[in-house]
Structure 1
């Protein structure tokens, strides 16, 4: 296993992705799956610290080299579902990862994301740890004719999705061959990732239904168990179960404390960490060197201090509020530069 301290984000992601492909073709132990989850979680932290994505941009504005990192929550969802210990917590985490991936695809306008229904973007976890999946079942009773029509529509939608997935798989396989032999231009590279995103959208939409159905079954069984032993006290949580619950929580990162308060509403009962908190966690885990240390100097990397980060934020806010002429001029010049330097103009290989 490579030393993660000296690995860059592309190296870490490539290594984990290769292991992910091997995992799909064979049975692996829970320990190896957990280790792979840890690698993808570390990659997720790196992506957030580097600030590669912004909800204000579309998929076409994301660098071709960075597109693949949109798959991180999809990979984490698939791996999390392969683990059976603490199943309810695993299902909760997988649901959050799936919804996170689908929401990102929709936010960035990934081709095929229009097929994602809004109902799939709601996380069924309440603050008390229970889910609101039962509320889905309390809908108005439908007539037999409506039920038949709904079943026919669902069947037709599944057949269409299956055909679409096969087409995307064939296109992705053909484009991957070009990527591997180095003959793919930038448009073909982006086309490969878009087909890959589409395949994962169709797969995870289907898995999300299974996840929520399994959660309903587990909750129903738990209610029956509580009803059978009404007078019994709730069992005390063991240290092992507490440890499991700690590692079952998804990696959700926000930029600062203000976003932490705002976006926390989207992941109720799950604590969020800011980028600074995640950075300190990476330092403690040994995934990143401490700012100013000898290891950081050897890597030509000096982590910004909290004071520097706060100073930059304050200066930017002051420039915006005071309409600083230099700040505005730089912003306009950058917009003009983007107008004259369209995406892909610098790479004309294979385009005639």
Structure 2
């Protein structure tokens, strides 16, 4: 059963990557367009990054921390596309400002991209309210999709019905992506703390499939200006692969390096205290072990001297 699921996930990722390549070749999307300018038959292809993010998150044979960070890149890519096209009003710290990132010379992430501080009661209440609103919106999207899907099954379907269905599907995945990104953030925090507490590097295994150099997401171009002029999928542009983009974000400190242990500041005060206590116990144990070993050596030496008179074994110089 698990093998069948892994096989389906792998096939899904490969199919989605091929679709992205075709989208690039056809130059379907650009940052200087509105959603109304996109033909009804092409709107569904805007879902590709979200689908890739979902499928990446389902992989089980690769290093989990690296896998979910790649999944995060895809979800953020999808949200950026939807925000650029005005699909929904999206305000989230997960959307990195590429202009600030590219213009930054010091190589450090801005405060907007920094890790969130310890949540306070006000922020927790705000997050709870956001989740309630998203839940209500998601239920409404699902209701509309069910209604529109029944209309799509008719023999003659109006163009506006098709367009409404795909647009609503995009909105549904916007909500799903935001929820997935929050889950990823929580999982990353847990994985990093576990890695730090154990004092072990998380050893990655070889994934069964990796984005190849031919795979180019249609929004990750190296120049925002070029995207606006030529279109984000223009084939001749120097574009990022997901691997290149991931490496860049690691270098900027926006994403952790795969397999790396996080810094102590990512631990809660309780975890830091527990870690220090464990280190103190280990140090005391080491001192005790050293003292025991030294004492045993001294005893062995005394026993040897008792059993052997002075000069024992010296056949030339008699003691």
CA separation of 1:182/1:73 partners in 2, compared to 1, >3 Å: closer, same or farther?
A: farther
Deviation at 1:119, TM superposition (A): 0.8
Contact 1:74 1:97 in 2 (8 A): yes
- The counterpart of 1:267, out of the listed 230, 241, 245, is 245
Alignment of 1:1-352 (within 5 A): 28-86=4-62, 87-110=64-87, 113-114=88-89, 116-122=90-96, 135-137=114-116, 139=117, 147-226=120-199, 241=206, 244=208, 246-247=210-211, 251-253=216-218, 254=221, 255-256=234-235, 258-260=237-239, 267-269=245-247
**Max Rg structure:** 2
What RMSD over aligned residues (CA atoms) do the two structures have, in Å? 3.7
Deviation at 1:62, TM superposition (A): 0.1
Identify the residue that residue 296 of structure 1 maps to in structure 2.
none
Contact 2:57 2:68 in 1 (8 A): yes
Please give the per-residue CA displacement for 1:237-265, whole angstroms capped at 9, x wherever unaligned.
Answer: 8xx62x5573599742553565437x999
Cα separation, 1, equivalents of 2:8 and 2:183? 24
Unaligned runs of 5+ residues in structure 2 are 98-106, 222-233, 250-319
Identify the residue that residue 285 of structure 1 maps to in structure 2.
none
Q: Specify the SS of the correspondent of 1:193.
A: helix
Contact 1:175 1:184 in 2 (8 A): no
Unaligned runs of 5+ residues in structure 1 are 1-25, 272-352
Please give the per-residue CA displacement for 1:61-91, whole angstroms capped at 9, x wherever unaligned.
Answer: 0000101001111111111111122212211
Please give the per-residue CA displacement for 1:84-115, whole angstroms capped at 9, x wherever unaligned.
Answer: 222122112110110010000001111xx21x
Cα separation, 1, equivalents of 2:71 and 2:153? 31
Contact 1:134 1:216 in 2 (8 A): no
Higher relative contact order (CA 8 A, sep 6+): 2
Contact 1:59 1:108 in 2 (8 A): yes
CA separation of 1:133/1:83 partners in 2, compared to 1, >3 Å: closer, same or farther?
A: farther
Cα separation, 2, equivalents of 1:98 and 1:66? 19
Matched residue pairs, number? Answer: 221
Identify the residue that residue 348 of structure 1 maps to in structure 2.
none
Q: Which runs of 4+ in 1 moved over 4 A?
A: 132-135, 247-251, 263-266
- Name the one with the larger helix percent: 1
Q: Normalized against structure 2, the TM-score is what?
A: 0.60
